[in-house]
Structure 1
């Protein structure tokens, strides 16, 4: 079984798309969260190998969630998911501790490549 991944996105459709990509490519979906606050709680419970994190979410945004998770686990591997045109936010997320980013709409081969790179680190 591949790496355990926590999928964080406020849009159920996006979580479903990512879940399909991951399961079709040998990753295990450890869990899902629909906001940053839930992501931090699930991270501590599930101890995933990787996290895919949306940037814009209610309750707690992805950048704040990255900072919180990194406080709990400085080794956390978090890949940000952003729509086109969110470059400034992606840079902020990388500064906050995100490992990489993938752009929506998701391209399966790119998502798999980025997750494999992070898993190998």
Structure 2
């Protein structure tokens, strides 16, 4: 059975570029997408994804608030937070809220793949 990944970003092209990186790495993931924190929580409840990759800065509800809510629903949720350069103070907030890792935009494929493997513990091969 393939793993589900919830991609959360208010920019569709960012979700697309993440999908391309993950597809190029041949993880074979299924994707669920959300455009803001509130939608992310709803999709998490519906699909219980194996991994969430979520932007911090979004309309309606930001990523940090959404991480907190998702962790309330599922304490074992595996969430990687993303943000643009210059938001380093938010990294601490994200990790405190329960994110497992953090990647900086613009995405470097290598770092995204390394983070996904570490969080999902896939680097055993």
Short-chain TM bin: over 0.9
Segments of 5+ residues of structure 1 without an aligned counterpart are: none
Query: How far is the alpha carbon of 1:18 from its aligned partner?
Result: 0.3
| Equivalent residues of 2:8, 2:37 under 8 A apart | yes
TM-score by length of 1: 0.95
* CA deviation profile, 1:61-110 (whole Å, cap 9, x unmatched): 00000000000000000000010010111110100111000000000011
Give the match for residue 10 of structure 2. 10
2:5 and 2:32 in contact (8 A); partners too? yes
Structure 2 runs not aligned, ≥5 long: none
Q: Which segments of structure 1 move beyond 3 Å, counting only runs of 4 or more?
A: none
- Map 1:1-121; keep pairs closer than 5 Å: 3-25=3-25, 26-120=27-121
TM-score by structure 2 length? 0.92
Distance across 2 between alignment mates of 1:60 and 1:87: 19
The CA deviation at 1:2 is: 5.4
Over the aligned positions, Cα root-mean-square deviation in angstroms equals 1.3
